[in-house]
A and B are shown apart, each in its own frame.
Chain A
Amino acid sequence: MPAADVVVTGIGMVTPLGATAAESASAWDSGGSVQSAPVPELAGTSLAHLRAAAAQPLDAAARLGSRKMLKYMSESAVLGCVAAHEAVEAAGVRRRFDPDRVGLYSGIGMAGASLADALPALAASVGPSGRVESRLMGERGLAAANPLMSFKILPNMPGCLVSITEGIRGPNLIFTPWEGQTGAALAEGWKAVASGAVDCALCGAADNPAHPAILVHLARSGRLPSGQHVAAAAAYLVLERVGTARRDGHRPIASLADVTIEACDEEPSDPLSGRMGRSFAAAPAVLLALACALPSGAPRVSIVGVDRQRFSAAVGGRP
C-alpha cells in the first residue's frame, strides 16, 4: 500500500481551546489549558467533583453558511458539522472532487444521542410512582416531544448531517463510542485513500460527554478517573494522495503514514486529557489534527482508548 502518498490537505477543529483549527492549535502550542466547570445536576452528590469543559462558543449558522439543517442537529452534530465544514473548505473538496469519490469515516461518542432532546417526552411521562411509564409516554409524552427528536437521538445522524451539508456521497463508516472506534474511522479513511478506493476521505469525530447521565455512567464504569474532566470537541481531516494535491496545486499540510489500530491490554492513555479534558471519541481526531496543524507537532501520535484499543499514526511535515 503506498502509505507515504497520503497527505492531509484540510483540518477543522472545535475544542474548548478554540472554535477553529488555527485557534485550537495556537492555544495548545502556547501551553493553554481549558477551564472546566462543575455540572449543576451533580451538585450535592458524591459526583459533584466531576467537571466538564464546553467547546468554544461559535455561530454555527454563520460557520456553515446556512441555518437550514441546525434544527436537526444535536450538540455533537453541530460541533462535527462545523469542524468538517472547516476542513472541507480548507481543502477545497467541493470544487476539486467528484462527490461520489469522497468517503466519510466518522466516530461519534455516546453523546451523539442528544439526551436533552428526549427530556420533554420523558418528563411528561413520569407517573405517580416517580418513574417513566410507557402508558403515559403514549398518552402525553410524545405530544410533548420535539417531532424531530429521532434525528437528534440516532447516533448516525451527526455523520449523515456532515454528508448532507458537505455533499459527500461516497463510501462511509460511522463507529461508536470510544477512542478506538474513531481511531478505526481514521485508519479506514487513510486506507481508502492509500488504496485508491476513494480520491478523498473526510475523517474525524465529535463527542460531547457532558450530559449528567453519561458522566455518571463514565464515573461508575471507571472510565473517568477522579481528577479528570470531560470536554466537548470535534475534529475532521481531509486526506488525499499527494499526487492529487500536486495536480490541483493544493499545498498539503502534513503527510500521514503508518496509521494503525490494534487491540491491546494497556491502560487507557489520552495525551490531551491533562490540558483539554477527555473528549473520548473525539480525542484521536483532535490529537491527529493538532499534530498535523502544529509546526512542532509530534511526529508520531498514539492514544489508547478506554476500550483498550490503540490508535497510532506517523505525521510528517509538508511533503
Chain B
Amino acid sequence: MRRVAVTGFGVVSPVGIGREAFWSALAAGASGIGRITRFDPSTFAVQLAGEVRGRLELPKAVDEIAGRDPKVGFAFAAAAEALASAGNPRLGVKSLLHLGTSLETFDLDALVFDERRDFRSIVEGERPLQVSLDTAGELIRRYFRDMAINGSGPFILTNVSACAASAQAIGHGFHAVRSGETELALCGGFDSMVNPLGVGGFQLLGALSTENDRGESGCRPFDASRSGAVLGEGAAMLVLEPLEKARAEGRTVLAEVSGCGSTLDAHGLSAPDPEGRGAERAMRAALADAGIAPEAVGHVNAHGTGTRLNDEVEAAAIRRVFAASWQRLPVSATKSLTGHLIGAAGAVEAGACLLALVKGLLPPNPWLRKVAPGCELDHVVGTNARAFDGEYALSNSFGFGGQNASLVFRRVR
C-alpha cells in the first residue's frame, strides 16, 4: 500500500483566514469566540459563537451564493488555498473531492407554508429557496477541475456524518489514495450553523453554553467550570497524494496521513456511550490502520466540546487506549479557541494536528484552570504553545448521533 502525503492545506476559521493566521492564533491561545453578529441573538439563551471575521476573496458567482449560505464561501476559499499550497494541481478523472458538512441552508420564509400564508408568492417568486449541500463541491469542481476532461470528473462526495463528517472525509480520501483508487484527494469540511435555526436547534437540546458573559472563554473543554459547547463556523481542506509521487515531483510534504478509524456508538442520539466504547474503538482502529502502538503517539487533539458528557467520556477513553502513556501524552482541545465547527470540525482540527507536526508546537487550551474530575489528562494549559517533537499525532471527532472518527498524522522528517 502507498504512503499518503498531505501536500496542501487551506483553512477559514473563527481564529483566522488562511493557514498562517490560523496557526498563529492557535499557538498563542487566541480565541475567535464572541457575541453572535450574523443575526440578532438578543432573545436567544445562546449568544456566543465562533464566527469567521474578514472578507473572503471569491469569484463573483461564488460570492453571490456565499451571500445566502456563508459556508459555501468558506469551502471555496479553503479549497483554493489548499490547492494553491499544493502547487495548483487540477482535479481530474482520478481525483476525489470529498467534503463533510451538516445541514442544508433554507430560506426560512419558504418553509412556512401553513394555512395562514400563501405559498404562491414563494413558488412564483424568484428568491432561491435553498442551497443544496452539494453546491460547494460543484463550485470547486467547476473552478478547479482539469478542463481537458469535460464533465467527467472528479467524483464528488458530500458527507453528512455530523461532527465526524470531515474527519471521515479525510479518512476516506486517505484510504482512496493509499489503495491506488485515486491519485489526488481534496477532502475536508465546511459548515456554519451560526443561524437562528442552527443555534436554536442546539439550544433546545441544551448542548450549548448559555454563559454569554464569558465571551472568548465561553468554551472550556475539560475544565471543572465548563458549561457546554459553542458553535463555530469555517472550513478546512487537505490535498492528499501518494507520498512517493509528491516527493518525485518536488512538492512540499506537510505531513503524512497514516491511519483512520471509524465506528458507531449504537447507543443514543445526543449522548455518547457512557463508557466511551465507540470513541475508544475509533482510536484503536486508527492506530491499527496506521500500524503503530499507542505509545508511538505523541499528541492528541481531543474532540473536547466543553460539554459535561463528552469531555469525561473522551478523557476516559483516551486513558484506556493510551494506558501506558497518557500521563505524558499532551492533549490539546482547539474548540476552546474556534468553537465547534460541526461538519467542518474534524478537518479544522486535523489541520491543527498537522500544523503541530510541521511547527513542532502544540496549541494550548487557555481556559483550562481546574481539571474536572474524570477529565485527567496531560492537558496543554496556559496561553503558550508547548514544544513538540513527537512522530505521530491523533485527532478525534465524535459526532452527534454516535458517529466517531479518529485520524493519525505522521511527521515528515
Contacts and interface: CB of A to CB of B under 8 A. Distances in A.
Contacts of A125: 108, 196
A42 B150 CA distance: 38
Contact of A137 (B93, B155, B159, B196): B196
Nearest to B154: A263
Contacts of B161: 156, 159, 172-174
Nearest to A110: B104
Interface string A136-172: 1111011001010111011111011101101111111
Interface in B88-118: 93, 102-104, 106, 108-114, 116-117
A138 B41 contact: yes
A163 B111 CA distance: 30
B130 interface: yes
A104 interface: yes
Nearest to A157: B401
B178 to A, nearest CB: 12
B325 interface: no
Interface string B231-266: 000000000000000000000000000000011111
B113 A307 contact: no
A104 B152 CA distance: 28
Interface in A101-118: 104, 108, 110, 112-113, 115, 118
A139 B108 contact: no
A41 B267 contact: no
B204 A132 contact: no
B264 A104 contact: yes
A154 B342 CA distance: 11
B9 to A, nearest CB: 23
Given A172-B262, A265-B150, A161 B155 contact: no
A121 interface: yes
Contacts of B263: 100, 169-172
Contact of B119 (A42, A113, A147, A153): A42
A160 B402 contact: yes
Contacts of A168: 264, 266
Given A110-B132, A213-B110, A154 B400 contact: yes
Nearest to B137: A307
B114 A263 contact: no
A217 interface: yes
B40 to A, nearest CB: 5
Interface string B277-315: 010010001000000000000000000000000000000
A115 B106 contact: yes
Give the residue among A41, A46, A264 with the most B Cβ atoms within 10 A.
A41
Contact of B162 (A72, A100, A156): A156
11 contacts: A99-B266, A115-B111, A122-B108, A138-B41, A147-B204, A154-B401, A155-B160, A160-B403, A216-B123, A217-B130, A263-B152
Interface of B: 39-45, 93, 102-104, 106, 108-114, 116-117, 119-120, 122-124, 128-130, 132-134, 150-162, 165, 168, 172, 196-197, 200-205, 262-270, 278, 281, 285, 399-403
